C-alpha cells in the first residue's frame, strides 16, 4: 500500500472551506471557483485518476455531487486554481468533467441551506486501473461514481466543512 495523499493549500483537511469556493446562485453569493488540489504517492499501476467532491449532508436523500473529473492522466499531481471552470480548458487533456448536481460540467461550489448545520465536503481522488473510463460525456454522477469505484486501485480523501448563517 502506498502513502497516497490528497490535499489543498486552499482548504485545510478537517477545517472550513473558505467563502470564495461558495457557489454563486441558489441563494449563495461566492466566487464559485475550484481550489488548488495536489496529490502524491499514487499506487503502482495507476493509469488515470478521477476526482469527486461530494456533500453527504445535503437534504436530498442522496447527497450532492459538486465536482466530478475523470480521465486525469496518470502523471498528473495537481489541479490549478479554477481548474473546474465550465468547459474544462484548465484541465490536463484528456480529462473531462461530468455533470454535477447543479447541472453543470464544472465545479459547483459549496452552498448548504442557510441556518443548516455545517455540511461536510469530501474531496476524493481515485487512482484507477484504466486510462479512460468508458462512460458517455452526459453520464450521471451515479453512473460515473459506479464506474470510478469499479476501477479504483486506491483512494485518497480529505474532508472540510462549510455552513451559512440563518
pLDDT in tens, 43-94: 999 999 999 999 999 999 999 999 999 999 999 999 999 999 999 999 999 9
Q: Are 97 and 67 in contact (CB under 8 A)?
A: yes
pLDDT in tens, 24-46: 999 999 999 999 999 999 999 99
pLDDT in tens, 88-115: 999 999 999 999 999 999 999 999 999 9
- Cell numbers for 33: 471557483
- Cell numbers for 52: 469527486
What pLDDT is recorded for position 33?
Answer: 95
Alpha carbon dihedral 107, 8, 142, 58, in 10-degree steps, equals: -80
DSSP 122-134: EEEEEEESSSS--
Using omega within 30 degrees of 0 as the cis cutoff, is the peptide bond preceding 94 cis?
yes
Q: From residue 34, how far is each of 10, 53, 88, 117, 165 by CA, in Å?
A: 10, 10, 12, 22, 22
d(CA 102, CA 78): 24
pTM higher than the cut 0.85: yes
d(CA 4, CA 21): 25
Q: Does pLDDT of 2 surpass 90?
A: no
Amino acid at each position: 500500500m502506498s502513502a497516497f495523499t490528497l490535499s489543498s493549500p486552499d482548504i485545510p483537511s478537517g477545517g472550513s472551506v473558505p467563502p470564495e469556493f461558495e457557489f454563486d446562485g441558489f441563494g449563495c453569493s461566492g466566487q464559485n471557483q475550484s481550489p488548488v488540489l495536489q496529490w502524491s504517492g499514487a499506487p503502482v499501476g495507476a493509469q488515470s485518476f478521477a476526482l469527486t467532491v461530494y456533500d453527504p449532508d445535503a437534504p436530498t436523500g442522496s447527497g450532492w455531487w459538486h465536482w466530478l473529473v475523470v480521465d486525469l492522466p496518470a502523471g498528473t499531481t495537481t489541479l490549478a486554481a479554477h481548474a473546474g471552470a465550465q468547459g474544462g480548458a484548465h484541465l490536463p487533456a484528456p480529462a473531462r468533467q461530468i455533470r454535477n448536481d447543479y447541472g453543470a460540467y464544472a465545479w459547483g461550489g459549496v452552498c448548504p441551506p442557510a441556518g443548516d448545520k455545517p455540511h461536510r465536503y469530501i474531496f476524493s481522488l481515485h487512482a484507477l486501473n484504466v486510462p479512460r473510463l468508458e462512460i458517455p460525456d452526459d453520464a450521471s454522477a451515479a453512473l460515473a461514481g459506479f464506474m470510478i469505484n469499479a476501477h479504483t486501485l486506491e483512494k485518497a480523501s480529505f474532508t472540510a466543512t462549510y455552513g451559512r448563517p440563518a
